[in-house]
Structure 1
């Protein structure tokens, strides 16, 4: 390859960065999952004000030997807009964290909480389904989920009450958020209607 061509080199580096981003993008998802597993949004919310890193670490159910890694996790989450960072001193580790509009949707008691949805999507049994995508293209299974689990998504839900409950919560919360915006911004669409059908409505939240 001719690296003397500046334009060619720039394109090559952009392509490399693109592949890096595609390859390591899962780190963002797994960091989000970790934040939910450790209840970080709820801990900061209950604190009532920006929470210092040292106070956050003291509130987390982690091994003391892992405490020094929390600031790295928070750096990823802050970069991705899940938390805002406030510098207490010039020391990089003397910072505090506050919720953003995004992380407020991860609070367990928020009426529009997206915690259930994220927990389902990031659960290993669904993550592993994506690892079967290339295999699915070579067989006659209807979905990659069936390739991984030997049954349909809905069959799995019917056999796993805990998952079914989590899934219904996820759909309900997501629908409540969406419907509230639709009703607020598009109310005129519904004027004059005498009947409304909620197709595939599950628990009927949208119809209600």
Structure 2
């Protein structure tokens, strides 16, 4: 490490910076997981802050995976997709002194955009069809096949791909329509 010519503290900061960028995919894949599990929908339908145990139950997660869901939710809370709010767990079977104040998950404005009625383009672009082009970026830049990055990854342009894969086309169209409705409503009202 002497060849780098940096102090230990600077080297650790540089390494942390590198790790952070290497692991950024975990943020988008965690968001993808939340959408696939319908976590925003479940919390929204609950109508009040939802405790971790309530979410585990609603998702029918095996108890052995409960801690993994907890870690997922912590990451999503940290990234602003959900927030935590104190809730008082009222259970008529418990004596008042045994009742405890708990924290529950609450939607943020960002996670409200992930509800089925308000989905934006994010839900479409979290899937493998739109993630795959990024896996071939370096080869494409060096002169690989395909006029666009999407063509390099899939062998055809996005519109031709959509004709052959109507489920991708429908998801893309639905996402673009959802995104347009959010933007256009703001333009009209503002």
TM range (shorter): 0.7 to 0.9
CA–CA distance in 2 between the matches of 1:76 and 1:130? 23
Q: Does the CA-based 8 Å contact 2:76-2:82 persist in structure 1?
A: yes
Q: Does the CA-based 8 Å contact 2:50-2:105 persist in structure 1?
A: yes
Matches within 5 A, 1:95-174: 95-110=103-118, 113-114=119-120, 117-138=121-142, 139-174=144-179
1:80 corresponding residue in structure 2: 79
TM-score, structure 1 as length reference: 0.76
TM-score, structure 2 as length reference: 0.82
Which one has a larger percent helix, Structure 1 or Structure 2? 2
Q: Report Cα offsets for 1:48-89 as digits up to 9, x if no partner.
A: 000111011000043442122111111000000111113569
Q: Does the CA-based 8 Å contact 2:49-2:87 persist in structure 1?
A: no
CA–CA distance in 2 between the matches of 1:85 and 1:24? 24
Unpaired runs of 5+ residues, structure 2, are 89-101
- Residues 61 and 159 of structure 1: CA distance in aligned 2, closer, same or farther (over 3 Å): farther
Q: 2:188 aligns with which of 178, 183, 186?
A: 183
Q: Report Cα offsets for 1:142-163 as digits up to 9, x if no partner.
A: 1222122111111111222221
* Aligned length, in residue pairs: 175
Shift of 1:2: 9.5
Query: Root-mean-square deviation (CA), in Å?
Result: 2.3
* Higher RCO structure (Cα 8 Å, ≥6 apart): 2
Regions of 4+ moved over 6 Å: none
Q: Report Cα offsets for 1:96-126 as digits up to 9, x if no partner.
A: 111111111111123xx22xx2232111122
Give the secondary structure class of the aligned counterpart of 2:61: coil
Q: Does the CA-based 8 Å contact 1:38-1:61 persist in structure 2?
A: no
Q: Does the CA-based 8 Å contact 1:157-1:164 persist in structure 2?
A: yes
CA–CA distance in 2 between the matches of 1:24 and 1:84? 22
Give the secondary structure class of the aligned counterpart of 2:147: coil
